[in-house]
Amino acid sequence: MTNLTEGPQPGTPAQGTVKWHFPAIHKEGQRFGAISAAIAGLLALFVSHSLGWIMLGITIWVFAFFRDPVRAVPQDDRAIIAPADGLITLIQQVLPPPELAGPDRLGDQPLTRVSIFMSVFDVHINRSPIAGTVKDVVYVSGKFINADLDKASEDNERQHILVERGDGVRIGFTQIAGLVARRIVPFVKRGDIIAAGQRVGLIRFGSRVDVYLPAGTAPKVMLGTHAVAGETVLAMLGDDTAVGGVLQ
């Protein structure tokens, strides 16, 4: 794990030094990596050294895909943290999906939805945007169209997670499978108490995560921003001032 030589005091910046290390490989990926490595060995021994080398490259990619790096999670009760690594591709005003709508969920009025597209090169461990209690986890079967398309939120295989803070603030977010993704793996269930930035699941091989911001809260990220799960602040609760910028 990453170690700080001095422990920070609450509310103060971390002090000391941090050493880089190879990220851990999540247990979900160890089996896939082992199978890929075995195939590489068999190809090299019985078929072709060239094919073995190609498969070895694929094996390295498989292990990299399931990497699970340590993240420095902002400790601010107002912060809504990115649940996924990837590119901010859509920021829209939309009605919450039926699975997250209703008076005891996200309501029935349009909310700002921030969509994060994960390529096959991004970390695919998803994290909670806030601390609270998991009020619901709803899985919906569906298609596997390009997760970068707007209609993927309604058509694709997906899993909705609703988290409620102690003060009643609720955040809903949706894991969406894509062209290559074929399984959403949950790490949490209804009733679990989780911390901001805690690992809540993964989506195998490319996908997208949608986050629904509460009313009166504007995003602090722009289209084209590359979010880092557990670190990037998407928005500050109650702050309705949006940021602007240009791609260059």
Is residue 40 classed exposed, middle or buried when 0-12, 13-18 and 19+ CB atoms within 10 A define those classes?
Answer: buried
Check if 207 is active-site.
yes
DSSP run (H or E) holding 217? none
What string of DSSP letters covers 39-95? HHHHHHHHT-HHHHHHHHHHHHHHHHHTEE--------TTEEE-SS-EEEEEEEEEP
Distance between CA atoms of residues 40 and 132, nearest Å: 44
Instruction: Name the CA dihedral angle for 167, 76, 128, 9, rounded to a multiple of 10 degrees.
Output: -120
The SS3 assignment for 33 reads helix
Is residue 68 within 8 A of residue 75, CB to CB? The reply is no
Strand ranges inside the chain, DSSP E:
24-25, 67-68, 79-81, 86-94, 111-118, 125-127, 132-140, 158-164, 170-177, 184-186, 193-194, 199-203, 207-213, 226-227, 233-236
Active site residues: 207
